[in-house]
């Protein structure tokens, strides 16, 4: 969990490039978390998504 959106986005992009999987930054209350696209559930609010194949 991150309190700063910038840190969450940076970690999500790095994780997407390293693991070569799509990642998402989600908002949970006033905090942010990074999950993979496989773990996405419609009950969470997606702030950003990163696809490693689109980043290249």
- pLDDT category, 19, cuts 50, 70, 90? very high
Cα dist from 4 to 7, 29, 41, 42, whole Å: 6, 13, 22, 23
Q: What is the pLDDT of residue 54?
A: 87
Using H for helix, E for strand and C for coil, what is the string for the chain? CECCHHHHHHHHHHHHHHHCCCEEEEEECCEEEEEEHHHCCCCCEEEEEECHHHHC
Residue 42: pLDDT band by 50, 70, 90 thresholds? confident
Give the pLDDT mean for 24-45: 91
Q: In this predicted structure, what is the pLDDT of residue 55? A: 65
Percentage of the chain lying above the pLDDT 90 cut:
79
- Answer whether 0.75 is exceeded by the pTM: yes
């Amino acid at each position: 969990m991150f309190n700063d959106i910038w840190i969450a986005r940076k970690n999500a992009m790095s994780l997407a490039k390293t693991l070569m999987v799509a990642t998402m930054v989600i908002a949970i209350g006033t905090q942010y978390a990074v999950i993979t696209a496989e773990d996405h559930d419609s009950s969470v609010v997606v702030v950003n998504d990163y696809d490693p194949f689109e980043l290249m």
